[in-house]
Amino acid sequence: MPLSSELTLASSPRAAADARRWVGDVCERLERTDLVECAELGVSELVANAILHATAPFKVRVRGTASHPRIEVVDGSTRPPVPPATVPEDDLDLLLTFGRGLAMVAQCAVAWGATIESDGKIVWFEPAQQMTDEGSAEWVIDQQDRPHPEPTSDVAVEIQLLGLEVPLYLSLSQQYHELRRELRLLSLSHQSDYPLAGDLTSMFANFERQFPDTYHEQIRQAANRGLPRVDVRFSMMPEAAPIFVTMTEMFDVADAFCRAERLLSMARTTPQRTFHNWLLGELIHQLGGATAQPWNGQSRPDSSSTSQVG
């Protein structure tokens, strides 16, 4: 069962209890009663830590895979959490009095860490079947990639995406973000179980590097102005075309994994997939010398037969 729901938490003392009950219910629905105790303890500590040290909005959600469910606590602060230090045995009574915070999360987890984003952070853990005396799970920190510069070569091709539908693009971008992060975290914390996750993560990173910052900025400005459509113009190197051909196939594979519940992300909807076909098809065709075709609710007629855009 793909998990796409999340729980928004109030900035109040009851937030930890609300998160604990919700996460326990999710584990029950996943038929992972073996994880309930650690899941509830870990999420309680993360939510309490967020309420005390971070800013709203606060949310809790479950992502990952069926075999490795991952609990995430989202807040509005970009300050990374501080991993717990080793605590002397003499301080155990003090810890039992005031709570163990992230040290307890480490004891409840088989993997844990944080993702720092432009507008906040996500602190996550994969609950263990039972607590350990000492937190041995490896701490993983994940940050957004650096900006991508505008191509300056004389051979760069001017690309035009005409009539790009802004709300549909934003929904597709969110779906991509979730998928991309799933793969990256699998590659960081479960490389031995998912050896292809690292290769796919590298492919996605290479795909993203082909888009200059001006591309993203034009869409961001259109969204801020509430425009339904926008014409986007930017430069791109012609050697990017084979990357887009390969990635169109990878997006179809990712959709299949999501539908088969091998990833707890949602597959693209039909409108998202059709729009994605058009966007990637335009990049491939224009890099090959074709003229721009505006978005009219469908992809190029020859996309599926010529380049297997998906």
pLDDT reported for residue 2 = 47
Give the DSSP H/E element, type plus range, for residue 182. Answer: helix 166-189
253, pLDDT greater than 80 = yes
Q: Which residues of 133-146 are buried (b: 16+ CB within 10 A; e: fewer)?
A: eebebebeebeeee
Q: Report, as an integer, the average pLDDT of 81-108.
A: 58
pLDDT reported for residue 202 = 81
The DSSP-derived string for 91-156 is GHHHHHHH--THHHHHHHEEEEEEEEETTEEEEEEEE-SS--SS--SPEEEEEPPPP-PPP--TTP
pLDDT reported for residue 280 = 97
The band of 119, judged by pLDDT with boundaries at 50, 70 and 90, is confident
Q: Report, as an integer, the average pLDDT of 241-265.
A: 86
pLDDT reported for residue 93 = 43
Q: What percent of the chain has pLDDT over 90?
A: 46
Highest mean pLDDT among 20-29, 87-96, 221-230, 259-268: 221-230
pLDDT reported for residue 193 = 67
State how far the Cα of 9 lies from the Cα of 78, in Å rounded to an integer: 18
Q: Roughly how many angstroms between the first and final C-alpha of the chain, as a whole number?
A: 24
Q: Report, as an integer, the average pLDDT of 74-83.
A: 84
227, pLDDT greater than 60 = yes
Fold of 6-143: Heat Shock Protein 90 (3.30.565)
181, pLDDT greater than 50 = yes
For 56-74, write each residue's pLDDT tens digit.
999 999 987 667 788 999 9
Is residue 186 within 8 A of residue 209, CB to CB? The reply is no
The band of 41, judged by pLDDT with boundaries at 50, 70 and 90, is very high
State how far the Cα of 303 lies from the Cα of 310, in Å rounded to an integer: 9
What stretches of the chain adopt beta strand conformation (E)? 6-9, 58-64, 69-75, 109-117, 120-127, 139-143, 157-165, 229-236
Task: Map out the domains of the chain as residue ranges.
Answer: 6-143, 157-306
Strands 139-143 and 229-236: unpaired
89, pLDDT greater than 70 = no
| Residue 215, token pair as written in the block | 């591309």
Is residue 9 within 8 A of residue 47, CB to CB? The reply is yes
96, pLDDT greater than 90 = no
pLDDT reported for residue 135 = 58
pLDDT reported for residue 147 = 55
Q: Tell me, what DSSP letter sits at residue 9?
A: E
Q: How far is CA 274 from the centre of its chain?
A: 21
| 257: nearest Cα among 79, 123, 64, 124 | 64
pLDDT reported for residue 98 = 33
3-state secondary structure of 74: strand
Q: Report, as an integer, the average pLDDT of 161-179.
A: 95
For 128-155, write each residue's pLDDT tens digit.
999 887 656 667 777 655 556 666 666 8
